[in-house]
Amino acid sequence: MAEPIKNRRAEVPAPTPQNTPASNAPISSHAQQPGVASIKEEDLDRAAAASIFAQNPKLVQMIQGRLGSLVGRSSGYIESLPAVVRRRVAGLKGIQKDHSKLEAEFQEEVLQLEKKYFAKFTPLYQQRAAIVNGSEEPSEEQVKAGEEENEEEDETKAEKDDKPASDNAELVKGIPEFWLSAMKNQISLAEMITDRDEAALRYLTDIRMEYLDKPGFRLIFEFAENDFFTNKTVTKTYFYQNESGYGGDFIYDHAEGDKINWKEGKDLTVRIESKKQRNKNTKQTRIVKKTVPTESFFNFFSPPKAPTDDDDDAASDIEERLELDYQLGEDIKEKLIPRAIDWFTGEALAFEELDDLEEEQFDEDDDDEDDDLSEDRDDEEEESDDDDDGAKPKQEAQECKQS
């Protein structure tokens, strides 16, 4: 999905169509300095405005619509330039079009390069699937390359080797619950997996992807025979728009998922609600069962649809869901599939920069607290230390969610 272009401050101040005045402002040493309201006044104004907007959501929509209509509107500055200057501006636009064509060619070549190396990755993914599902064993070279060469690891391995092997260990096939464990360690996916989903995801044998003939990709989830649905594979396909976006990037258009053929009473995307109804005449009661949607990872295969003109009120909510849905697909394609073993062991979490994100969050909270304390510092000295108990606790590091 194309990201908004961030404005940059020009090195030399120059008039723009948005901020160029119709006439020059008078220069005077007696000009009145702009007044700055106190912090308390600003807080009061902000609180009053928030109250007004909260009570009038239509007013907010109207203001947003007005502001949106002003974006990109010319102030007349470009049109007021001499013809020879406007000709040069048009020439620069022509150069920019040539640049955009090259950007589109660049993105197309990147896509072809990705496909070329994906063909080289595929045999490795096939070996991984064979080992995970127990149809093959890794070679000695592969095991040696994967072992961590440090004393702590060697000591732990030696202790394990000294223990007698369990009879049941030889009966274990492949790596049980490999993909479920990997998904539970991937933060964005873990939030979608419910306890009920885990019973079905234990039958997940492989997650693959493939490129489409046109820009887009397909995620393929393979399942062993299970008690929940009859599908052997469940796929989800992401499509891009035909035209490239600003900078030549591909623009996400929509996604389509397979219909899951749930076995009777096993649909994990719904739950049964039972309600009592009383007959007004006979006073007899009966139990009425109703099927209602519920949270489930398998809702991933029923992606949201783009908002229509009739969905203005819910457009922002749908847009957020579309963005989240696309990001989940990208996470599976770019993170989970290429480095599934690192997600299974939890080592991939070290590269998610969780600590940096948490520090930024806490820094923002600390700044807010400092602003509040600066106003009532005398009152703070009189308060007891019991207030520290109500402070927001520091989040613990993300643990590996192994099954």
Percent of the chain residues past pLDDT 90, beyond the cut: 42
CA distances from 287 to 272, 278, 282, 284, 294 (A): 12, 9, 15, 11, 21
The pLDDT score that the predictor gives to residue 181 is: 97
* Widest CA span in the chain: 94
Kindly report each contact of residues 213-217 with a partner whose C-beta sits within 8 Å and lies 24 or more positions away, as own/partner.
214/239, 214/240, 214/242, 215/111, 215/239, 215/240, 215/250, 216/240, 217/329, 217/333
CB 307 within 8 A of CB 315: yes
**Helix (DSSP H) and strand (DSSP E) numbers for the chain:** 13, 6
Angle between helix axes 57-70 and 39-55 (nearest 10 degrees) is 110
Q: Cα(391)–Cα(139) distance, rounded to whole angstroms?
A: 53
Span of 91-105, 240-254, 317-331, 382-396 with lowest mean pLDDT: 382-396
**Residue range 290-315: average pLDDT?**
82
In this prediction, residues 35-58 reach a mean pLDDT of 56
The total of other beta-carbon atoms located within 10 Å of residue 70's CB is: 8
8 A C-beta contact, residue 402 and residue 346: yes
Alpha carbon 52 to its chain's center = 32
Highest mean pLDDT among 53-57, 102-106, 181-185, 397-401: 181-185
176-180, 206-210, 314-318: range with lowest mean pLDDT: 314-318
Kind of pairing between the strands at 252-257 and 270-278: unpaired
Element (H, E) at 118: helix 83-132
Beta strands in 98-215, from DSSP E residues, in sequence order: 204-211
Decide: residue 331, CB within 10 A, 0-12 exposed, 13-18 middle, 19+ buried.
middle
pLDDT tens track for 106-164? 988 998 999 999 999 999 999 999 999 999 999 999 999 888 644 455 555 555 555 55
Of the candidate ranges 92-96, 263-267, 278-282, the one whose mean pLDDT is the lowest: 278-282
Beta strands in 8-145 (DSSP E): none
10 Å Cβ neighbour count for 99? 12
* Confidence tier at 76 by pLDDT (50, 70, 90): confident
pLDDT at site 37: 42
| Confidence tier at 11 by pLDDT (50, 70, 90) | very low
Domains present along the chain, CATH in parentheses: 98-142+173-261+296-350 (3.30.1120.90)
pLDDT at 157: 52
In degrees, rounded to 5, the angle at the alpha carbon of residue 61 between the alpha carbons of residues 55 and 63 is: 100
* pLDDT attached to residue 14: 42
Cα–Cα distance for residue pair 38/374, rounded to 1 Å: 14
Tokens of 260: 């899951």
How much is the pLDDT for 305?
82
- Return d(Cα 290, Cα 369) in angstroms, integer: 47
Specify the pLDDT at position 261.
97
Asked if pLDDT for residue 295 goes beyond 60, the answer is yes
Rounded Cα–Cα distance for residues 281 and 365 (Å)? 60
